[in-house]
Structure 1
Amino acid sequence: MKTYIKIYILLLSMGISACEGFLDAKPEKSLVVPSELNELQALLDNGNTMNVFSGISDIGTDDLELEEGAISGLSNPVVEGNSYLWKPDILEGFGFTEWNGNYTRILYSNVVLEQIERIALTEANQTEWNLVKGSALFYRAASFLDLLMVFGPAYQEATASSELGIPLRLSPEVQFELERSTVEETYSRIIEDLEGAYGLLPERYSDYATRPSKQAVTAMFSMVYLYRGDFQSSERYAKESLSYGGELMDFNTLDPSARFPVSQFNTEVVFHALMNSYSYIRQQTTYIDGELVDSYQEGDLRKNVFFTPAKKEGKFNFRGNYSSGTRGFNGIALDEIYLILSESLIRQGKLEEGMDVLNEFLATRWSANTFQPIQAENEVEALEIVLEERRKTLVMRGRRWADLKRLNLEDRFRKTLERNYGGQKYSLEPGSPRYVYPIPEDEISQNPIVQNSR
């Protein structure tokens, strides 16, 4: 244990001085770098770093609203408040956990990937060796994807080879003039890393949902291809991910009177990850959008499991985190995979199969013996239904922002977001450049990368 703690301290001190950007961060040559398989695994098992992803984007969605005056009570009123109001300058010179945290994870992954190649692969250590390398590739892919969802535009085939994605750091060594890759190049690297992880990881973990597996890899593949609009591939990978097992929770067995009705590491969790700890997620002055609350019909158990009446009459707070606490969950769970599969099937014209998948899932969310399978007359109606159920299921799970970006590319789903706060009206138009977050200025000042236009 002392060895592991030492490793963590050293790697946490790989640090970044006040005059450096995160793309410059590298292990100091004088520091001890982990070199044994158990040390590398311990580094990847550092859940406070490796299993914490972005959490800012939900505050900018149509899923929630802040009470008048609530911004001043947030722990980071500048970044959280400006994100809520979609202001052009979100950071106002502050750093950004979404950028720094992801590139820290990428740095750790790159250290592991470099070091593992110096450890001979033998019959005796093959399982552990594969797990370490596969996990590092998964974490790097997941971090690149997380960055792209925050700092990149929605995928469009016609522009993906010209629009800017993110810098792809692939080594722990300093890479001067590391430019931003295109959206297409970023997705290609994510896919390549996931392909490498797929062949190395076990199918599923029953005890360690904090570690990646083939089920997690194929689930992430299904997300990637859904965002790319390749629905044949997202169908394929969603089906494979579901084939590895797990079980949907029956919401009839949950206790809606409990403070947090959904347990952590429940049977649906494929890969456990939390959101960065922003205060808006846990504040009692953060309410779920009223129209969203009203969209849950009588007999739909999600309403009472996910929400609790707020102190302000007629308002509701969210409490349905799969973390069983106030920290937001943005890992991977079976419910999302079912919804990806249903949408992918429907978008390919496989209407009956897609609705069957959706109804199989929804039957676990309704009061016993009250659920009636939903029927759709045509593909348009079916798609509207599955997207509504996706929003109602994945509320406060870090997916809505990316969904708004991709759905705004389709005329039938384009939506202008509006807020009234502090006596002013704010709006976010479909396709607005403010859907793409700015890169921290301290990074721009140290590295010649192009800033996002807002």
Structure 2
Amino acid sequence: MKKHKYIKSILVIFLLLPFLSCDNYLDIEPKGKQLLESVRDYNLWLDNQSLRQSSIYGLIYFSDVLDMPTIDDLIDNYSEYSYTWAPQLASDPFTSSPIWASAYNSIYYYNAVINQIDDAIEGTQEEKNKLKAEALLGRALVYLDLTNLYGKMYNETTAATDLAVPFVTSIDITDPTPNRSTVEKMYDHIIGDINSAIPYLPADNSQNRFRGSVAAAYALLARTYLYMGKYDLAAQNAQLALDKGPNEILQHTTSSTFKDLKVRPDAIYSRVGGSLYYGSVSPTLDLLRSYNRYDQRLPLHYTTLGDYSFTVRGRTKYSPYGTVASSTAYPNWGIDVAEMRLILAEVAARNNETVIACDHLDLLRKKRFATANYQRFDSNDSEAVLAKIIQERILEFPFCGLRWFDMKRLAAQGKMTTVNRYNGLGNIIATLQPNSDRYTLQIPIQVMMYNPEWEQNP
């Protein structure tokens, strides 16, 4: 039996990390003083609020559906650096690195369970296997985001040489930091961890959607294969997720109420985007105008709709909690049933199965309109159907992190247009071309300073 593990002492070591060997520097600060000894301790560890909020809120600033109508030409903070796709998201090499630090903090939490749960006292081996499986699944979700932020989009011909991020499995800060893995190896790790977890995951997480389940694993595999462009495998796993977990899409009306994400019936795997208490953001006028006038997602999440002409930047805001009768309409930054339906629809469209694609699309869209105002979409043009599905992904998931990754994969397919950023006067202050290097983030300077031998992204 190993000695008790005191996270307090580990915190002190990590705070001193900049003064230690550069090989060990990952820019993370594990927090807490939890004594990890029993299976119950590890179970509570996985319920940590920081893991529930482990999605990368900053993703919304990169996307083409966010506007900053008050921004000026002096770009000087994290949100503005992100919004203008600056090479670096922080200018001070001695501050914590945005995105990277919080993501590797989450990975540290999961690694603590994966590495140490077998030595925990009390509890059965079955319980230990379940907790390790949940940690493997949670870590895979974080690594999928990191791989697609700091590595190029998966390309079968270049993935073996395209660099991504270090695959860190240790919680011992005396271990050398691994070099950057390739995109191919990162996907191998992600898929391997998910498949290793499936036999031990619970069949039902309906009492706590923030925790893992078999359906959550298949749903994450579906998203993973979608990003890889392995569409048949994406559809296969999306259907397994629906077969083995929740398969309900909530009806949106002007009086909709929503259960907490912990028990929301359409959530497969719940996450909150960063701090639970973030405020409203400004959507672009193009996004607002792309909604149908009768789409109930507008009055549910957008304020000051006026006559629905949307002519003034910043007047209409997106409210994550909802605007009417609900304070719990918070979008799921994890995975839900709607995403699985849209993956099935997209794969069908790409396979020229337009009727099947429109059927899947219909299952979602009819839940977003009052019956009297709904018109089904049908077309036998696969490109038109695919465009409609991609548009529906924007309308359904505007501010929960998915849009940036959709932009990146569409850009890699030659299907993204140029995106411009405008200051308050309407002048262009930044431009993102479809072939821009900015679709792949640079490794933070805070990390490169201690790992100078790493190759930096362009």
Structure 1 residues 295 and 25: CA distance shift in structure 2, 3 A? closer
The residue that corresponds to 2:141 in the other structure is: 142
Q: Shift in Å at residue 438 of structure 1?
A: 2.3
The residue that corresponds to 1:282 in the other structure is: 279
Identify the range of structure 1 (110-119 vs 217-226) with the bigger mean alpha-carbon deviation. 110-119
CA contact (8 A) 1:49 1:101 kept: no
Match of 2:370 among 358, 367, 372: 367
Structure 1 residues 282 and 24: CA distance shift in structure 2, 3 A? closer
The residue that corresponds to 1:297 in the other structure is: 292
The residue that corresponds to 2:161 in the other structure is: 162
Whichever residue aligns with residue 227 of structure 1, its letter is Y
CA contact (8 A) 2:113 2:132 kept: yes
The residue that corresponds to 2:62 in the other structure is: 60
TM-score by length of structure 2 reads 0.86
The residue that corresponds to 1:106 in the other structure is: 107
CA contact (8 A) 1:7 1:39 kept: no
Deviation track 1:339-384 (CA, whole Å, cap 9, x = no partner) reads 1121122212222212111111111111123322210122111111
The residue that corresponds to 2:265 in the other structure is: 267
State how far apart, in whole Å, the 1-side matches of 2:82 and 2:102 are. 18
The residue that corresponds to 1:210 in the other structure is: 210
State how far apart, in whole Å, the 1-side matches of 2:223 and 2:73 are. 32
The residue that corresponds to 1:395 in the other structure is: 398
CA contact (8 A) 2:301 2:318 kept: yes
State how far apart, in whole Å, the 2-side matches of 1:278 and 1:88 are. 28
State how far apart, in whole Å, the 2-side matches of 1:324 and 1:11 are. 38
The residue that corresponds to 1:419 in the other structure is: 421
Whichever residue aligns with residue 435 of structure 2, its letter is G
Residues 6-405 of structure 1 aligned to structure 2 (within 5 Å): 9=8, 12-13=11-12, 15-17=14-16, 18-19=18-19, 22-23=25-26, 34-49=36-51, 51-69=53-71, 78-93=77-92, 94-119=95-120, 125-173=124-172, 174-176=174-176, 178-246=178-246, 247-252=248-253, 255=255, 262-265=258-261, 266-277=264-275, 282-283=279-280, 286-309=281-304, 314=312, 315-321=315-321, 324=327, 329-405=332-408
Q: Percent identity?
A: 25
State how far apart, in whole Å, the 2-side matches of 1:54 and 1:189 are. 20
Identify the range of structure 1 (225-234 vs 56-65) with the bigger mean alpha-carbon deviation. 56-65
Structure 1 residues 289 and 169: CA distance shift in structure 2, 3 A? same
Whichever residue aligns with residue 418 of structure 1, its letter is N
For residue 369 of structure 2, give the secondary structure of its aligned residue in structure 1. Answer: coil
CA contact (8 A) 1:321 1:329 kept: no
Identify the range of structure 1 (185-194 vs 108-117) with the bigger mean alpha-carbon deviation. 108-117
Structure 1 residues 83 and 32: CA distance shift in structure 2, 3 A? closer
Whichever residue aligns with residue 345 of structure 1, its letter is A
Structure 1 residues 369 and 355: CA distance shift in structure 2, 3 A? same
CA contact (8 A) 1:308 1:316 kept: yes
State how far apart, in whole Å, the 1-side matches of 2:58 and 2:28 are. 23
For residue 418 of structure 1, give the secondary structure of its aligned residue in structure 2. Answer: strand
State how far apart, in whole Å, the 2-side matches of 1:101 and 1:119 are. 26
For residue 291 of structure 1, give the secondary structure of its aligned residue in structure 2. Answer: helix
Structure 1 residues 262 and 238: CA distance shift in structure 2, 3 A? same
For residue 204 of structure 2, give the secondary structure of its aligned residue in structure 1. Answer: coil
Deviation track 1:71-129 (CA, whole Å, cap 9, x = no partner) reads 98xxx9511111111223332124224111111122222221121233599xx724422
State how far apart, in whole Å, the 2-side matches of 1:295 and 1:305 are. 16
For residue 178 of structure 1, give the secondary structure of its aligned residue in structure 2. Answer: coil
Structure 1 residues 434 and 255: CA distance shift in structure 2, 3 A? same
State how far apart, in whole Å, the 1-side matches of 2:456 and 2:255 are. 45
For residue 191 of structure 2, give the secondary structure of its aligned residue in structure 1. Answer: helix
Structure 1 residues 210 and 22: CA distance shift in structure 2, 3 A? farther
Whichever residue aligns with residue 333 of structure 2, its letter is N
Residues 426-437 of structure 1 aligned to structure 2 (within 5 Å): 426-437=430-441
State how far apart, in whole Å, the 2-side matches of 1:448 and 1:199 are. 41
Structure 2 residue ranges without an equivalent (≥5): none
Whichever residue aligns with residue 161 of structure 2, its letter is S
Structure 1 residue ranges without an equivalent (≥5): none
